[in-house]
Amino acid sequence: MVAAGADEIARGVWWLRGTRGSNVFALEAGDQLVLIDTGFASSADAIGAELERIAPGHALDAILLTHAHVDHAGAAAALRARYGCPVVAGAGDCRRDERGVSVLVEPLGRSHFVRRALGRLRSRAAVAEVVVDRPLSGGALVAPGVLAIPTPGHTAGSYCYVDSARGIAFVGDLVISHGDGVLTRPLKMTNSDDATYLATLAALAESAPAAGCAGHGPPVLGDFAACLRALAALPRRSPFAPRGALERARRMRAFTRMLSRRR
């Protein structure tokens, strides 16, 4: 398989271009080709074009979703229909519909501010109902050499996917990457359960591989576990501290810009 547009960050692992919303990664897993997250719904065609460059004529074998938020799962329904491949996601982010089929439920955290900040983007990126063919409720092997690890807190059904052979973790919104190994946590108000999230971050930091790919920002291809441990050791700032409020506003502006642009 030869890539002609995506960034090959490790042999057989690509960071796709032309997508909007979250980062989208393609991964060779044995003889399979899997996708990790899908960006907004408008990313479907760009993903299809990149997959054709990476693996001409090769079918997509699975879509692995880190969680149900629209910027990560927006194109999942269209890609599932296009390729006929299963969607894998955490059962905690799903519900059973009237047919008994598991479908994604997209939470946005408890903050009205976050809802307003994302409202404009959501209006341009409506999500078709996403059928989840394999709802996960524990650790599982989801593709050859790829382990799904439950990481609840940001959402109830958040998952990370670890490529054990290459030593790379795909962590969704467990952290946000700002380049040069600088990681930050999602804002407390964007997490469904912040106490659970903080415990999850600390636990994963103890077993994380050397490289990690966040859902937003550049991959960290060395010392990822050490960066996670340093981040997990930091206390949450008081929401009433002026410095904390200014930092949250700055981060929200940067995050909104990140969501809006194409990679």
pLDDT at 180: 86
Is-contact 215 37, C-beta < 8 A?
A: yes
For residues 73-99, give the mean pLDDT: 96
Q: In whole angstroms, what is the distance from residue 64 CA to residue 66 CA?
A: 7
Is the predicted pLDDT of residue 102 greater than 90, yes or no?
Answer: yes
Long-range contact set of residues 79-85: C-beta below 8 Å, sequence gap at least 24 = 79/35, 79/38, 79/44, 79/47, 79/48, 80/130, 80/131, 80/133, 82/44, 82/48, 83/59, 84/59, 85/59, 85/60, 85/61
Give yes or no for residue 233 having a pLDDT over 60: yes
- For residue 40, the model assigns a pLDDT of 94
Mean pLDDT score, 67-74: 95
* pLDDT over 70 percentage in the chain: 80
Q: Has residue 213 got a pLDDT over 90?
A: yes
Name the pTM for this structure: 0.87
Give the domains, in start order, of the chain with CATH numbers.
7-260 (3.60.15.10)
Does residue 149 sit in helix, strand or coil? strand
Residue 125 pLDDT > 90: no
pLDDT at 189: 86
